[in-house]
Chains A and B, each alone.
Chain A
Amino acid sequence: MSLMSISNWAAAEEGANPLIPHTAELVVGFVAFSLLFLVLRSKVVPMFEKAFSERTEAIQGGMEKAERAQLEAEKALAQYTTQLNEARGEAAKIREDARVQGAAIIEDLRNKAAEEAARITAAAVASIEAERQQAVTSLRNEVGSLATELAGKIVGEALDDQVRQSRIVDRFIADLEKSK
């Protein structure tokens, strides 16, 4: 209100009302403002918006990248953990298998060794028996012939007769066994 009174007073003194617009200034204001509007709208606003969206994108992109990397790391960790657990399980299984297998092998070997031992023992026994038989037979023959020879020499009687010879040998041996 005080402004109005000042301007009224001034207008009364100077004769110009500051509230009355000038045509030239209206035209200039319209043209100048439109010009500025067109320049700012076409050149400035799109560029600033571009910078803003690129900045937002850059920040978001970085965050997404980090998130992706974290996700990948988590996946890898899970994979490693699973693999590790699998490996542990497998190792335990292998150890168990080995233990069982080892026990089986030992058992098997023991059986085989026992068998072998039995076989060797049997073979030895058989061979000893055979050798003994052979020795007995050959001894018997040798002793017989020796004794016969000796007796023949001693008795002077030819004991060539086979039957007699064997009867004498048998009796001799029987005597020998009896005296033993």
Chain B
Amino acid sequence: MGVRLASEGGFKPPSTADFELPPVFGDNPYTTKPVFLVFFSVILVSVFFILASRKAAVVPSKLQFAGESIYSFVRNDLARDVIGHEFMRFVPYLFTLFTFILTNNLFGIIPFLQFPTMSRVSFPYVLAIFTFVIFHYVAVKHKGLIAYLKEIMFMPGVPKPVYILLTPIEVATYFLVRPLTLSLRLFANMFAGHLLLLVFILGGEHLLQGAIGLKLVSPFAFAFGIGLTFFEFMVQCLQAYIFTLLTALYIAGALADEH
């Protein structure tokens, strides 16, 4: 769509350049909008949950109830149901993961912030590395290094010739596909979502400046942009959930004794 518009008028379609935000102070790469947003999310999440959990009352206030709902969702529905009896060790990590991703994703549709930090690929990479290190560490500690590698490379109960095919797939799955899909899924969803919103909102704006016929079309572009914002909200929550769920699944796999 952007291409078509570009060919018709002087519209410059949104591109990856829209994600390369310049530093606010001089050339310092630590002063870009995504960096500020990430730190803002840390402060926001910390303050909210510290206030919500400070009293730890048996009969919760509204604020405590709100915080508890999110916490118990991660604790019970994600950690406990997936990992099993040893889940409590991993609750802090999964809880941090979920709240951090969710907040940063939601920045994409919060007015004035309006930038999903996870559309900067570096952040999903960092999170995927954390998960990667944790589930391998848990598995090595639980099963022993040799047994764990043997389980990955030579899956039990498989005829020997199949290993020629299976071993490379399994090794790739554990050491390459898992962290890559984890980070790229989150990144791509946020990236594409933001790009879509840019196309419709900026496109609508551009149409408004065009001829009278184009002006009439412009509200449709805006309406679509608003509709997509609601859709994005769903995707943002879903991606935070999926990232946390998959991490919990990988940890559960690391703790499971049999494949």
B45 touches A40 (CB 8 A): yes
Which B residue's beta carbon lies closest to that of A17?
B16
Bound complex: CA of A69 vs CA of B38, how far in Å?
55
Point out the residue from A22, A32, A58 that lies within 8 Å of B41, measured CB to CB.
Answer: A32
Instruction: Tell me, rounded to whole Å, the shortest Cβ–Cβ distance linking B154 to chain A.
Output: 33
A55 touches B58 (CB 8 A): yes
Chain A contact patch, size range: 35 or more
Interface centre among A3, A27, A29, A43 (most CB of B within 10 A): A29
B57 at the interface (CB under 8 A from A): yes
Point out the residue from B15, B38, B68 that lies within 8 Å of A48, measured CB to CB.
Answer: B68
B220 at the interface (CB under 8 A from A): no
Q: Mark A38-78, 1 if CB is under 8 A from B, else 0.
A: 01110111011011101100100000000000000000000
A175 at the interface (CB under 8 A from B): no
B181 at the interface (CB under 8 A from A): no
Interface centre among A21, A24, A25 (most CB of B within 10 A): A25
Bound complex: CA of A50 vs CA of B127, how far in Å?
28
Bound complex: CA of A14 vs CA of B17, how far in Å?
6
B20 at the interface (CB under 8 A from A): yes
Bound complex: CA of A110 vs CA of B249, how far in Å?
102
Point out the residue from A11, A19, A25 that lies within 8 Å of B35, measured CB to CB.
Answer: A25
B140 at the interface (CB under 8 A from A): no
Bound complex: CA of A13 vs CA of B35, how far in Å?
25
Point out the residue from B15, B38, B49, B57 that lies within 8 Å of A10, measured CB to CB.
Answer: B15
B56 touches A50 (CB 8 A): yes
A48 touches B71 (CB 8 A): yes
Residues of chain B with a CB closer than 8 A to A10's CB: 15-17
B35 touches A28 (CB 8 A): yes
B16 touches A21 (CB 8 A): no
Assuming A14-B17, A48-B67, A58-B58, is B50 touching A43 (CB within 8 A)? yes
Residues of chain B with a CB closer than 8 A to A22's CB: 29, 120, 122
Assuming A18-B191, A24-B29, is B122 touching A51 (CB within 8 A)? no
**What is A's interface to B at a CB cutoff of 8 Å?**
3, 6-7, 10-11, 13-14, 16-30, 32-33, 35-37, 39-41, 43-45, 47-48, 50-52, 54-55, 58
**What is B's interface to A at a CB cutoff of 8 Å?**
15-17, 19-20, 29-30, 32, 34-35, 38-39, 41-42, 45-46, 49-50, 52-54, 56-58, 60, 64, 67-68, 71-72, 75, 91-93, 95-96, 99-100, 119-123, 125-127, 130, 184, 187-188, 191-192, 195
Taking A26-B125, A36-B96, A45-B91 as given, write out 19 further A-B residue pairs in contact, using a Cβ cutoff of 8 Å, ordered by the A residue number: A6-B192, A20-B121, A21-B125, A25-B120, A25-B122, A28-B35, A29-B38, A29-B125, A32-B39, A33-B127, A36-B46, A37-B92, A40-B95, A43-B49, A44-B52, A44-B71, A45-B92, A48-B67, A51-B53
Smallest CB-CB A-B distances: 4 pairs: A25-B122, A29-B126, A47-B53, A24-B29
